Amino acid sequence: MPLSLFSCYNQSILDSYSDKPAILGGTSIFSEPIAFNQPTLPTYDALRAEFAAVMAGGQLTNGVNVARFEAKAAELFGRPAVAVSCCTSGLILAAKMLGLTGQVIVPSFTFFATSHSLIWNGLEPLFVDIDPDSWNIDPQAVEAAINPKVSAILAVDVFGNPCHKNALLEICECHGLKLITDSAHGLGGAYKGRPIGSFGAAEVFSLSPTKVAVAGEGGLIGADSDELAGRLRIARDYGNSGDYDCRFVGLNARMPELSAIIGLASLGMLDANVRRRNELALAYRRNLDAVPGLTWQKIDPSSLCTYKDISVLIEPHAFGLGRDALASALAAEGIPTRKYYWPPAHRQSAYAGLISVSGDQAVTEQISANILSLPVFSHMTETEVERISQAVIRIHRYSADLNPT
């Protein structure tokens, strides 16, 4: 056993590593599986009076709470904010209200809702590769993909790591393109000292239960003008501006009042929760620092990442096991994981015939095949991170027994 590898650990942690992994008959690290992800909610008591007021008044939608939620978000972004039913509807409406046409450049290393929003608009996603460090859309791949059919870039702040916004804005300026960001993960993050929500034509957030801020279901758009925000508010209400003669076809994408109450309280907890997730990410990296074959997402020192997910790239030869085998061994320890994002968006079965791909997506394919997202939520403890880290370490130590090759 190469004990020297673990010389940086304290003795109490080391002792517990001598056990066999659960998948080889050892005792599971978590007898009751830990959650992969959980919303960190305000208490019911804190919201009781506001819920009661809505129930008593009967105004379940289009009321004061959505307005308060938007005002608080606008203060955070320093520009107009529009509440919607979810990030997906927000992306659909943003692409529609910005009048996009033809192709939209989009990364493939993302949740499929990003590119779904384009297809719902009859637009063609033009997939490009990501950069191997930030795991975000690669500005050079974007440049290489530009052609006369392209009207916009739909970027993503993957796992809450702000994408290369300045480079993308420069490309947009140079080629007359719009920049929209699917920042489902990015609420509470910052890029070069400026809050996510304040960049490009529109940045769109999710407040669904797996995200850093939650509203039950919900979405939020940071818009670059009052005019765009106004059109988005009409668009979320079927396209009806009030006279029942729709000038364009919208959706019902309104956020309910009860969701806005939860969302507002969640925004109040956002800074603390993002800070907490940064501590947890640091704890994972510190605990697993000596384990070979693990690579973490690179965050620019001038960025604030929200760590909506904490994901790690497994190099099978160095670690001793591949991603899928590690995921199975962790599951036996009571530790659920996710393969975010596998398969990559450009290989979704539903997209056959509807998309284009620029370049070979080599980085996307490589990362998608080897990445594993570990449990994280804002009220997770350092002890829980330590126990998950212990599981990874003992699985690595016994990898020769787990791996038939």
| Positions in the binding site for ligand PLP (CB under 6 A) | 86-88, 110-111, 113-114, 156, 182, 184-185, 206, 208, 219
Residue 65 or 373: the one with the smaller Cβ distance to ligand PLP is 373
DSSP-assigned states of every residue in 298-346 = ---TTEE---SSEEEEE-HHHHSS-HHHHHHHHHHTT---B-TTSS-GG
Residue 208 or 303: the one with the smaller Cβ distance to ligand PLP is 208
CB of 156 to ligand PLP, least distance (A): 6
CB of 340 to ligand PLP, least distance (A): 8
CB of 138 to ligand PLP, least distance (A): 17
CB of 232 to ligand PLP, least distance (A): 15
State how far the Cα of 151 lies from the Cα of 278, in Å rounded to an integer. Answer: 36
- Residue 377 is classified by DSSP as -
Q: At what angle do helices 44-57 and 257-268 cross, to 10 degrees?
A: 150
Q: At what angle do helices 382-397 and 323-332 cross, to 10 degrees?
A: 120
CB of 341 to ligand PLP, least distance (A): 8
Residue 309 or 384: the one with the smaller Cβ distance to ligand PLP is 309
Residue 86 or 312: the one with the smaller Cβ distance to ligand PLP is 86
Residue 208 or 364: the one with the smaller Cβ distance to ligand PLP is 208
CB of 87 to ligand PLP, least distance (A): 3
State how far the Cα of 46 lies from the Cα of 56, in Å rounded to an integer. Answer: 17
How many CB atoms sit inside 10 A of residue 271's CB? 12
CA atoms within 13 A on the CB side of 107: 32
Beta strands in 5-159 (DSSP E): 81-84, 103-107, 124-128, 150-156
Tokens of 33: 């599986």
Residue 113 or 171: the one with the smaller Cβ distance to ligand PLP is 113
